[in-house]
Structure 1
Amino acid sequence: MGHATKEGTFGYLKKFGNYSKDFYRFNGELFFPSLGIGTYKAEPYKEDNYIINYAEAIKTALRRGINLIDTAINYRYQMSEREIAEALNEMIQSGEIKREEVIIASKGGFIPLDFPFPDNPYGWIQENMIDQGLASKEEIVIDQHCMTPEYLRWSCEQSLRNLEIDTIDIFYLHNPETQLGYIDQATFYERIEAAFALFEELRSEKKIVSYGIAAWNGFLYEADHLEYVSLGKVADIAQRVGGENHGFKYIQSPFNLAKPHAYGYANQECEDGLFYPLMHACARYGLTYIGSSSLLQTNLFKRPFASNVAELMKTGELSDVASALQFARSAGGISALFGAVDPSHVVDNAFLGYLPEASVESVNTLMRGAYAV
């Protein structure tokens, strides 16, 4: 079924001519919507993970101008990927959407187990990973994370099976900083290099188009923190492994009103010896930044926002959710991700397509006084 293309994503955006002209952004390869839909569900042991289904929300997103779909093999024990396949297959077969119009991102690194949750997860790891030669016990960190090339290849190929596609557009190494504290820095970057070498192989096999790192706090910590990841070192590894035409193109990390560090905290050293916020450092290294956790898994809404937030974001009488998403998509990343199972929530969020993004001055006003914790 191919993969997302410049022509396909441009053709897709033309269906939404009523949207604000800045709702879509071009990174030189693809046209991205400034909002993307994610399929992460917190608290995976809860029963509702066994009854929810993302398929209707995915279809609604694609019908409302949101053609960036973000997932990971470990989300809900591989079920999120399978539900994306359910939605895509229906829409592609009906002619409502084309594969080349949709940007699909997934991740490998965490051990996914399988649905339904196995009675003995340690037995699943032994049988499906160690016995299959994907990793040794020592290469699996805290029974949940692995970066061996053998495991990452299996993870990517299993994601392709789950998604029922030929090629993943963006394949992320998922929260590699999970291993720091259990392995030393030298070993950590050696494992990154081996992972990137594998990703270049997967590119040559047309199983992925580009790759990146999706981190939680790794790129946002201060430089002396145990779990800090240097973007400069990672970029150097990509050059060494893949040459000038390497496929390392994307960084994903949280960005929201409560966690704005990627925009305002200068912690990443660049080639000039100066420190820059992550978004700015990405631009200097030619990487596309995508913001995750735009709503902080709804933890932003424990109390109402101050009235000036909606005023600055030009979200008027819309909800605090709309104001939070407007902030997240207006700071410089190419897209901001939100999770939604209820299709009506997707409709509400997609209404931002009609609004221009917030100004730099408004974003900076909200950022004023923000600091890293």
Structure 2
Amino acid sequence: MSHATKEGTFSYLKKFGKYSKDFYRFNGELFFPSLGIGTYKPEPYKEDNYIINYGSAIKTALRNGIHFIDTAINYRYQMSEREIAEALSEMIQSGEIKREEVIVASKAGFIPLDFPFPENPYGWIKENIINKELAAADEIIIDQHCMSPKYLRWSCEQSLKNLGLDTIDILFLHNPETQLGYVDQETFYARIEAAFELFETLRSEDKIIAYGIASWNGFLYEEDHTEYISLTKVMEIARRIGGGEHGFKYLQSPFNMAKPHAYGYANQQCEDGFYYPLMHACARFGLSFLGSSPLLQKNLFKRPFTPKIGELMQTSDLSDVASALQFARSAGAITAIFGAVAPSHVIDNTILAYLPNATTEAMESLMSDSYAV
């Protein structure tokens, strides 16, 4: 099998019978771990981006119950995808894992350039995108983001090459709100529609199984914000393009102690006319919500957490990182995606696999004290 399956992901989780029953979640199609591993590295121009390698962390995650891997073509100029390929290939060839046991998600939308960083990035864009008629110049926003169907097809097919896979389990449209403020609302949603048409075609070609949107703030802003995205409008597009069997199944957005709005801020108007927080809106539309940035790129740890947090999260004997991850995975996301390069950090995080989720009462208690929009 060339993609993750219900049977494969269930077979995988059975290897970890000592873990808490809360650690794995089923969305009707696949069994997900409540913690996934990501491969994003901020500050891409820093020298350490050229020497780190996610391969060992990926293998450690797969050996310890974490079988959801999140990446994007633009992460570290395509290198994150290529390092995932090395890790997966080694473990699949040795028989340590099977392809159908692993859920792989990537993203398309940002222009990735290539490794090593080109001397003239604008020349790279012109040579590899504009001259090859993947997009017109006015379809490329601030020299970094593009949603033209031809470009998105190229991006998906390049990701397949990078990952060494026949099929990507989930392909996300990456931060589409980047274009808002540069194009009007009508153009924006028309571009979403064209992207979804392309994704449905990619599904029919077995290049992807499902698709979604990975956003930063687009679904979390106030309704009148320039970069606000309406989930209802996006769902209407998906249904119009794909009918009742459309492949728009996933939404990824930040959720952490400093940014808990996806759970507590009612800003998405649904079909009944009422407003709901993003997680609740996703549930109403049958979408699986994936929480990104659970540690807010380590910005949560500028000072130690109060003892109350550990008490509420049942992590008093663990680290602040464990408390933050416990929070991120306990509100309703099907998985919370953490980044780790060091295998030891993956091992540290999987201690949570033995713990039940934090209770709803504990989550609401903590959130009531933690933020104001």
TM-score range, shorter chain: over 0.9
**Map of 1:130 onto structure 2:** 130
Percentage of pairs with the same residue = 77
- Does the residue aligned with 2:74 lie in a helix, a strand or coil? coil
**Map of 1:242 onto structure 2:** 242
**Map of 1:205 onto structure 2:** 205
Deviations 1:209-232 (A, max 9, x none): 000000000000000000000000
- Does the residue aligned with 1:318 lie in a helix, a strand or coil? coil
Which one-letter code corresponds to 2:348 in the other structure? D
> Is the contact between residue 264 and residue 370 of structure 1 (CA under 8 Å) also seen in structure 2?
no
- Does the residue aligned with 2:338 lie in a helix, a strand or coil? strand
Stretches of structure 1 that go unaligned for 5 or more consecutive residues are none
- Does the residue aligned with 1:119 lie in a helix, a strand or coil? coil
> Is the contact between residue 265 and residue 371 of structure 1 (CA under 8 Å) also seen in structure 2?
no
2 CA distance for matches of 1:369 and 1:267? 20
1 CA distance for matches of 2:168 and 2:198? 15
**Map of 2:99 onto structure 1:** 99
**Map of 2:258 onto structure 1:** 258
2 CA distance for matches of 1:136 and 1:251? 28
Deviations 1:277-336 (A, max 9, x none): 000000000100000001011110010001100000001210000000000000011100
> Is the contact between residue 249 and residue 286 of structure 1 (CA under 8 Å) also seen in structure 2?
yes
**Map of 1:276 onto structure 2:** 276
Figure out how many residues of one structure are paired with residues of the other and give that number.
373
Structure 1 residue 371, shift from structure 2 partner: 4.2
- Does the residue aligned with 1:368 lie in a helix, a strand or coil? helix
Stretches of structure 2 that go unaligned for 5 or more consecutive residues are none
Deviations 1:63-98 (A, max 9, x none): 010000000000000000000000000000000000
Q: Does 1:77 align with 2:77?
A: yes
Deviations 1:227-271 (A, max 9, x none): 000000000000000000000000000000000000000000001
Which one-letter code corresponds to 1:127 in the other structure? E
1 CA distance for matches of 2:372 and 2:40? 25
> Is the contact between residue 268 and residue 276 of structure 1 (CA under 8 Å) also seen in structure 2?
yes
**Map of 1:324 onto structure 2:** 324
For 1:1-373, what aligned pairs fall within 5 Å after superposition?
Answer: 2-373=2-373
> Is the contact between residue 257 and residue 370 of structure 2 (CA under 8 Å) also seen in structure 1?
no
Which one-letter code corresponds to 1:246 in the other structure? H
Runs of 4 or more, structure 1, over 2 Å off, are 369-373
- Does the residue aligned with 1:113 lie in a helix, a strand or coil? coil
> Is the contact between residue 258 and residue 371 of structure 2 (CA under 8 Å) also seen in structure 1?
no
Deviations 1:114-133 (A, max 9, x none): 00000000000000000000
Which one-letter code corresponds to 1:220 in the other structure? L
Which one-letter code corresponds to 2:82 in the other structure? R
Deviations 1:18-68 (A, max 9, x none): 000110000000000000000000000000000000000000000010000
- Does the residue aligned with 1:117 lie in a helix, a strand or coil? coil
Which one-letter code corresponds to 1:201 in the other structure? T
- Does the residue aligned with 2:212 lie in a helix, a strand or coil? strand
1 CA distance for matches of 2:178 and 2:232? 19
2 CA distance for matches of 1:223 and 1:32? 31
> Is the contact between residue 307 and residue 316 of structure 2 (CA under 8 Å) also seen in structure 1?
no
> Is the contact between residue 149 and residue 195 of structure 2 (CA under 8 Å) also seen in structure 1?
yes
- Does the residue aligned with 2:195 lie in a helix, a strand or coil? helix
- Does the residue aligned with 1:294 lie in a helix, a strand or coil? coil
Which one-letter code corresponds to 1:247 in the other structure? G
TM-score (norm 2): 0.99
RMSD: 0.6
- Does the residue aligned with 1:337 lie in a helix, a strand or coil? strand
2 CA distance for matches of 1:9 and 1:372? 38
Which one-letter code corresponds to 2:301 in the other structure? F
1 CA distance for matches of 2:347 and 2:369? 33
1 CA distance for matches of 2:173 and 2:119? 28
Which one-letter code corresponds to 2:272 in the other structure? D
1 CA distance for matches of 2:198 and 2:350? 37
TM-score (norm 1): 0.99
Which one-letter code corresponds to 1:294 in the other structure? P
Structure 1 residue 370, shift from structure 2 partner: 4.3
